[in-house]
Each structure stands twice: as structure tokens, then as C-alpha cells.
Amino acid sequence: MLIETLSTPFRKALATNATDTSFASKIPTGTEPTNAGVHNLAINVYGSIDNKVLIVPYGTDADNETFDMRVIGWRKIETAGTPDSALWVPVILAQLSCTLSAVIGVAGKALINTEFLVDTITIGTGNADFVDVTSPTGDVVAHAIVHLQGCSKVEFTFDLTGAAAANALITFI
């Protein structure tokens, strides 16, 4: 039996860094979520999707500044045979509290020298069975792996509690 994992490069969760000072309200909607930070999960030929997302949060301002981020899963419900009845329901898969480190990007690259990677992540909301955090502290890059629990879309939102802006590098695994 061959077991393998597709290795894909990181991409940014948001096209531009978030500056929100509170989490936007997420409620069920009849409109398919497509706003900034929403990612469709690729459905393969067997009808299955990636199980998890690997997240490396980062932000701007200075070492030891903080922010919170939510990973929201979206699932659709509809009455059989009536696609107009579709309702998209959000669930918080994880809420992570992040602390910036002194580790920065590189000028002129995808992560620039004013963007600080995090070295500390703690789980604020979420089941530890579905969220795996590696939080080494001491200016060593931290990451989290969040189980997507079968959601067909995932959204990343931020609440800036100290940092000036925030985002995350993500890849689906």
C-alpha cells in the first residue's frame, strides 16, 4: 500500500494583510462564501478533499506583538433536488492566539522584511484532537495544523490585539 502526501508551496491566506480589530460576524447565508480569505478545497476524482491545513501565521509591527486568528469551515446544506434551498453554515474550526517573533521575511520576496513570523501559538477555541500546534517560542517559527472536518471551504479571519496587521502562510495537506 502506497501512502503519500502531495507537497505544495505555501500561499497567503489573504491577498493583503488584515487590519481588523475584531472578528467579523459569521452567520449562515444563502450566498456561497467567496469573500477575501475564503478558499475552496479541491475535490479530487474520488470526491474527497484535503483533510488539514498547515498554517504559519505572521504579522507586522514588532517582536512580541499579538493577534488572534480564526479558521472557519463552511459547509453547504440543501434539500435534495432543490439547489435553490442551499444554505452555507460556518463553524469555527480553531481560534489561535499568536505572538510575533524576531524572525522576519526578506526584502523583495513574498514575505518581506517588515513581516514577522510567529513563534508562539496557543489554542483559544478548538478541540486539541483537531488542532495540532507546534509553538517553540524563542524566535523559532511556530505553526498549526487544523483538521478541516470535511468542510468544502475554509476562511481565515483576524483580530488585531496588538500587531498592526496579520496574515498567514497556508498549504492544504
Dist CA 69 CA 44 (whole Å): 28
Helix (H, G, I), strand (E, B) or coil at 134: strand
Q: Minimum mean pLDDT among 2-11, 68-77, 93-102: which range?
A: 2-11
CB 33 within 8 A of CB 144: no
169 touches 7 (CB < 8 A): no
- The better pLDDT of the pair 44, 173 is held by 173
pLDDT per position as a tens digit, 24-80: 999 999 999 998 899 988 766 566 677 899 999 999 999 999 999 999 999 999 877
Instruction: Give the count of alpha carbons within 13 A of 55, CB side only.
Output: 36
